[in-house]
Chains A and B, each alone.
Chain A
């Protein structure tokens, strides 16, 4: 029989790294308070036992400060676990030991304690009497360095032992029902209880600490620069700017390789004589063009995630929260809203889920309403296509290119309007005090290659899964709508008679003032399901069209050249602006509705985004037509 084991510990204690080492799963490790919002679990075996390890959200105590920490208490109280592995940061013993004592008291299950980051503690000359600590706590303590794998085997041996002892005395001794109740009685009493508890923990630490280590002067030295009144903001801006610049420059070669591969595959399919023309069109114009058009952005997405993961693990993100808190305060939120907003630059859905770390309901609603305006990675394919088609790639100074700058501009405009919307919401609809900010600045540390690689593989898998399912299905649907009903023989413009064209023509009057023709309208409809489908929709539409005319084979995958010829610059700009604001995608809106338990807020989200998108695309197009 498989047993369930809870992994409990403070944020930044290397809990997720330990989880990875024990289970070899793809759970990400992040050096940031509160990244593990959803609990991950994975199966593993040790000492002939089958077990499931559940990585619970990081917390400092059983007294929840946020909804996120509430999850921990709820799960522990659900009686679903047979054992607990607690993770303590060896350089922050007092705090960790206090939490261990609290958990041991409320949930008297077989428990082992991982004294993690023992290597860092050694480097800072901490001398810990692990034996003594075990005795005083009444549970085995093992020094571990999860990232290096040190002590993990020993930890599992100890775990096996406590489980065996538990088995032996099960008949004679009944374990108390876990109490786990944290009553919100008189605040002074609660405070006094915590103080007493902390003092006791402090005594235990004092008697088991042979030599207290040094302060983390290295991190303090780095912070003198990173948090410096002048250099700090400059470093933050440079890091963000460099991130985008790298994303574009490094991705160039792999993107070309993917493009050539798909182009080669298309040519191969076209030479297969046993396939009918219809099947060839389906394979080349439908599947290869559509999937290739989206997959080509995998390098960019991976590079962006690699950089974000690196900055998180390094400890930089918590500093960004600190630097940005004052500006978030202007919106009426605090720095903590930064993490969900930042995650939303990858995808709005994990961003919305991560708002669980926000203490106040009103602040949470405001943050969720801001999230769709953060530039998610699904917009990258669309932006890249439009920028590479309509913005010249000139060098400005020092290798800074116009294209990179425009991309940054799109991010800035989206983010800026996001904050403006948040501020207005907080001011007029969601008035209320913002809970106190309290965030840990963890020690800087070099991220392990292993955890970066795991994180990347995970992200890559998600993207490829999306391409293989949602995007493939939509691509086929679009190809069908574009190809049928068939035009009569010898028709000049075969696509004109298709279902898609009919649909596009229907909404064209609405879109004309924005500079969009029916073809763009046609591609915009499936983009509501997933933004990046816009690219494959356009590819499919134009590929099918060029198949009818006598354009060269090499143009099939060169959508950029096609739209450059067919659209005005004003249309290109207007479409960029549309994609900053448009109420997309469906899953985002569905997630927002589910998390807020409110149709009204979801509807309000769609409405305000649509108004923004329509107005600003209209303005952009009308101004660009006159001035460019």
Chain B
């Protein structure tokens, strides 16, 4: 791995990655001006992600994207595979990594 590249590497939203890309979870996005029900759902979504193992430092891999639209995507973490929409996946910020 190129160390130099590592330094300038900034976290990107998970929803922007393509199938086959690997990444390491860095942090989670703020509420982004969401309010009311929308905020509530976003929180619950994040809780659920945490419960499924989406925690900082964890490795993820994008496996598939849906035909035509390219959305939703499937994300593999540990031994589980989960489908989510790109927009929602953007709540997770990741560093792109080479395959371990």
Interface assignment of A228: CB less than 8 Å from any CB of chain B = yes
Q: Is the CB of A438 within 8 A of B82?
A: yes
| B-contacting 9-mer, from A212-220, A244-252, A491-499 | A212-220
Interface assignment of A266: CB less than 8 Å from any CB of chain B = no
* Residues in A neighbouring B64, C-beta threshold 8 A: 223-224, 227, 322
Interface assignment of B72: CB less than 8 Å from any CB of chain A = yes
CA distance A432 to B88 in the complex (A): 16
CA distance A60 to B41 in the complex (A): 16
CA distance A195 to B53 in the complex (A): 8
* Residues in B neighbouring A194, C-beta threshold 8 A: 47, 50-51
* Chain B count of residues within 8 A CB distance of the other chain: 38
* Chain A count of residues within 8 A CB distance of the other chain: 50
Tally inter-chain residue pairs, CB-CB below 8 A: 137
| B-contacting 9-mer, from A90-98, A297-305, A405-413, A418-426 | A90-98
Q: Choose from A92, A98, A199, A437 the contact partner of B85 (Cβ within 8 Å).
A: A437
Known: A223-B64, A433-B37, A437-B85. A325 touches B52 (CB 8 A): no
Q: Is the CB of A322 within 8 A of B74?
A: yes
Instruction: Give min CB distance, B52 to chain A, whole Å.
Output: 6
Q: Is the CB of A325 within 8 A of B78?
A: no
Interface assignment of A439: CB less than 8 Å from any CB of chain B = yes
Quick one: which of B42, B51, B83 has the most chain A CB within 10 A? B51
Q: Is the CB of B82 within 8 A of A325?
A: no
CA distance A206 to B85 in the complex (A): 31
* Residues in A neighbouring B52, C-beta threshold 8 A: 60, 95
Quick one: which of B44, B46, B49, B84 has the most chain A CB within 10 A? B44
Q: Is the CB of A325 within 8 A of B79?
A: no
CA distance A227 to B53 in the complex (A): 24
**0/1 per residue, B26-51, Cβ < 8 Å to A?**
00100000000110011111111111
Quick one: which of A92, A215, A436 has the most chain B CB within 10 A? A436
Instruction: Give min CB distance, A459 to chain B, whole Å.
Output: 28
* Residues in B neighbouring A227, C-beta threshold 8 A: 63-64, 66-67, 74
* Residues in A neighbouring B28, C-beta threshold 8 A: 191
Q: Choose from A92, A216, A325, A433 the contact partner of B41 (Cβ within 8 Å).
A: A433
* Residues in A neighbouring B42, C-beta threshold 8 A: 436
CA distance A87 to B64 in the complex (A): 29
Q: Choose from A60, A61, A436 the contact partner of B84 (Cβ within 8 Å).
A: A436
Report which A residues bind B (CB closer than 8 A).
Answer: 60-61, 63, 65, 91-92, 94-95, 98-99, 187, 190-191, 194-195, 198-199, 213, 215-216, 219-220, 223-224, 227-230, 232-233, 318, 321-323, 325-326, 329, 334-335, 359-360, 432-433, 435-441
Report which B residues bind A (CB closer than 8 A).
Answer: 28, 37-38, 41-53, 55-56, 63-69, 71-72, 74, 76, 78-85, 88
A-B contact pairs, 19 of them (CB 8 A): A60-B48, A61-B51, A91-B79, A92-B79, A194-B51, A198-B51, A216-B81, A220-B76, A227-B66, A229-B65, A229-B67, A321-B83, A325-B71, A326-B72, A335-B72, A335-B83, A436-B41, A436-B85, A438-B82
4 tightest Cβ-Cβ pairs between the two chains A and B? A436-B88, A326-B69, A436-B45, A435-B41
Known: A322-B72, A326-B72, A438-B45. 20 other contacts (CB 8 A): A60-B52, A61-B48, A63-B44, A63-B47, A95-B53, A195-B50, A223-B64, A227-B63, A228-B67, A322-B66, A322-B74, A325-B72, A326-B69, A326-B71, A335-B83, A432-B37, A436-B84, A436-B85, A437-B72, A440-B80
